[in-house]
């Protein structure tokens, strides 16, 4: 692991690190905020998964999460959204390839050799983090924005027992039924749509439910609302009678102005579960 930068931040440290990933077969960069309490022992951790076109840096510098996390003594992990670099497949479109990993393990050419973002977030990066830093493996929570919200929800349901809480900002709730999803799942996983279901939060909710608390915020002025399909998750939550708070925030769009506005709510929501 290589340290790219470390800066004092709200009494703790905001670091950026690079490592060779076995899952993706490429060098991966991630951000990690450690609160002051990490000097004395392991602290709970909140994963933040970013959306289309983002790197580890977007949320790290725009979401305003570190101040709220510092108040609660919680670490923040900001993974990248895809493998990158020479030899890694890409596409001219912004919503496929580098910057658009969709948190799946690709099975189709040319994506399969490197686009294994499910394994990266679920196994590879955690293995490094809990070995190298003062993080409490028993107290984890997860959140994300847009494509990252999709990833947070599907990882929470696909890895039962891993996280104590899950939240999402404007998640892609039903990718099998939207332009943001059908294109990417078909490219990465192939034409057999039965393999797509475990990467669709609304279908997963109906199939397996969720036994941890969920908070989800979406703006009513979100310019991508038809691709997010929040109503599908709401119907699935009601069908499963899951413990969830789903909010439509009047006037807000898809930007980090929206994310930063409600970040305090989300960090506090996770802190309640992490310290229960």
32-47: per-residue pLDDT in tens?
999 999 999 999 999 9
Q: Has 222 been annotated as catalytic?
A: yes
Q: What is the mean pLDDT of residues 253-276?
A: 98
Point out the catalytic residue in the list 80, 124, 217, 222. Answer: 222
Quickly tell me which residue has 């497949």 as its tokens: 89
- Token pair for residue 243? 């413990």
β-sheet with 26-34: strand ranges across = 2-9, 12-21, 26-34, 75-78, 43-49, 135-144, 166-169, 214-219, 244-249
Return the CATH number of the domain spanning residue range 2-274. 3.40.50.1820
Q: Give Cα 160 distance to the centre of its chain.
A: 16
- Token pair for residue 223? 């310019």
pLDDT value at residue 108 = 98
Point out the catalytic residue in the list 82, 146, 165, 202. Answer: 146
Point out the catalytic residue in the list 114, 150, 254, 266. Answer: 254
Confidence of residue 62 (pLDDT cuts 50, 70, 90): very high
Backbone angles phi, psi at 54, to 5 degrees: -85, 160
Give yes or no for a contact between 82 and 117, defined as CB atoms under 8 angstroms apart: yes
pLDDT tens digits for range 123-178: 999 999 999 999 999 999 999 999 999 999 999 999 999 999 999 999 999 999 99
The 3-state secondary structure of 26-74, one letter per residue: EEEEEEEEECHHHHCCCEEEEEEECCCCCCCHHHHHHCCHHHHHHHHCC
Q: Has 146 been annotated as catalytic?
A: yes
pLDDT value at residue 85 = 93
| Separation in Å, CA 187 to CA 85, 134, 169, 183 | 20, 38, 25, 6
**For residue 274, which of 161, 147, 148, 139 has the smallest C-alpha distance?**
139
Q: Has 145 been annotated as catalytic?
A: no
d(CA 2, CA 23): 18
First to last CA, the chain: 33
Q: What percent of the chain has pLDDT over 90?
A: 100
* Three-class secondary structure of residue 119 per DSSP: helix
Q: What is the dihedral of CA 160, 163, 167, 173, to 10 degrees?
A: -30
d(CA 227, CA 234): 15
pLDDT value at residue 25 = 97
Give yes or no for a contact between 116 and 132, defined as CB atoms under 8 angstroms apart: no
* Three-class secondary structure of residue 85 per DSSP: coil
pLDDT value at residue 80 = 98
pLDDT value at residue 166 = 98
pLDDT tens digits for range 68-105: 999 999 999 999 999 999 999 999 999 999 999 999 99
């Amino acid at each position: 692991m290589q340290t790219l930068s470390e800066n004092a931040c709200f009494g703790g440290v905001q670091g950026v690190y690079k490592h060779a990933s076995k899952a993706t077969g490429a060098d991966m960069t991630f951000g990690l905020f450690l609160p002051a309490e990490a000097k004395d022992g392991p602290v709970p951790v909140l994963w933040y998964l970013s959306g289309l076109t983002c790197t580890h840096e977007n949320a790290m510098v725009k979401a305003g999460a570190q101040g709220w996390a510092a108040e609660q003594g919680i670490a923040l992990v900001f993974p990248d959204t895809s493998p990158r670099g020479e030899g890694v497949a890409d596409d001219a479109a912004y919503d496929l390839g580098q910057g658009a990993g969709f948190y799946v393990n690709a099975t189709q050419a040319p994506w399969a050799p490197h686009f294994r973002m499910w394994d990266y977030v679920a196994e590879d990066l955690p293995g490094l983090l809990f070995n190298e830093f003062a993080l409490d493996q028993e107290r984890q929570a997860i959140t994300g924005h847009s494509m990252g919200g999709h990833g947070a929800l599907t990882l929470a349901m696909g890895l039962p027992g891993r996280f104590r809480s899950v939240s999402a900002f404007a998640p892609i709730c039903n990718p099998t039924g939207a332009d943001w999803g059908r294109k990417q799942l078909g490219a990465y996983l192939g034409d057999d749509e039965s393999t797509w279901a475990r990467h669709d939060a609304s279908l997963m909710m109906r199939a397996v439910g969720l036994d941890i608390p969920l908070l989800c915020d979406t703006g009513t002025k979100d310019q991508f609302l038809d691709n997010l399909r929040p109503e599908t998750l709401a119907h699935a939550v009601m069908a499963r009678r899951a413990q969830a708070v789903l909010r439509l925030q009047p006037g807000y769009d898809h930007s980090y102005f929206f994310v930063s506005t409600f970040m305090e709510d989300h960090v506090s929501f996770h802190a309640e579960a992490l310290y229960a």
